Amino acid sequence: MSPFVMQLVGKIDRIFYMQSCLDQAAELSIQGLARACGMSRFQLQRRFKKETGSSPQEFIAAQRLDVAAAYVRLSNQPLLDVAISMGYCGQQSFTRAFTRRWGMSPQRMRLSARAQYADCLAGPVDAAIAQRIVHWRAPRRLWFKRYTGPYACVPEHWDRFKGELAGLAQRVKPPYYGIIYDDPDITPPQRIRYGCAIEASTGAGAAPEGWLELEVAPSRFAVFSICCSYLEGLARLRPRVLSWFAAQRASLGTAGVFELYEELPASEQHAIQLHVSLAD
């Protein structure tokens, strides 16, 4: 994928990651994207489809419904609120699009997810995974590289990222961030996105060429900590998080989900701090 299309995809990802598609609806329109890129709608659509296999409209619609499914499953927002926040004019149009995409209505998916979470809650709690609540009072600006593939490939993503860091002019220091976009219960493994990120230095300008940028908004986060390999953490963290959400009746917030590392993940064993934004 060319740097141009990667930046465009990153912009769309960023808007949906922060659930700000309603506020930035004009930017998500084909006309708005074409204007920002300095080209005609026809040029944009032809180039985007050539490199991604999807038209911009198809890509945005898929992203919209992927994010909507995550909020249907992991939040307590009324379904109408989810529909409006995703840019739909009402629940009826949202339900039609959602059902075409997922083969079930939003209500049915929510009920199915809650049954799954109840099963997690009924199981034993993994006491080795510590949990706490933290409050971020200020935003954090991240520069990152975006990778695609199953979560089992994340260690390989970090190996590639180490090479990317060598080309940065700024001094790189901890912490490091693993940006989580997709729910593996929803997104096919080959389409799962993951970002390896660092914090932009104070006073830094735009992200370096070839890098994407994301601002994590102030939020309250549930943090789950474990020291193990990434693949072991992947297997153990998910039921722990789902059971905690079920027990607390918590709801997913709009500042996203990410891993935080005090050291660059490079060994078989490392400390993973999974941050999950909580709704107010």
Question: Using CA atoms, how far apart are residues 260 and 138, in angstroms rounded to an integer?
Answer: 16
Angle at 209 between CA 26 and CA 142, to 5 degrees: 70
pLDDT beyond 80 at 21: no
Q: Tell me what the mean pLDDT of segment 222-241 comes to.
A: 93
Split at pLDDT 50, 70, 90, the class of 22 is very low
Share of the chain above pLDDT 90, in %: 41
Q: Which two structure tokens, joined as six digits, stand for 104?
A: 């079930």
Amino acid letter, residue 163: G
Amino acid letter, residue 84: I
Q: Tell me what the mean pLDDT of segment 226-241 comes to.
A: 92
Long-range contacts of 235-239 (CB under 8 A, 24+ apart): 236/126, 236/128, 236/129, 237/129, 237/272, 237/274, 239/120, 239/123, 239/126
So what's the pLDDT on residue 18?
65
Q: What is the mean pLDDT of the chain?
A: 87
The model scores a pTM over 0.85: yes
Q: Which two structure tokens, joined as six digits, stand for 54?
A: 């999807």
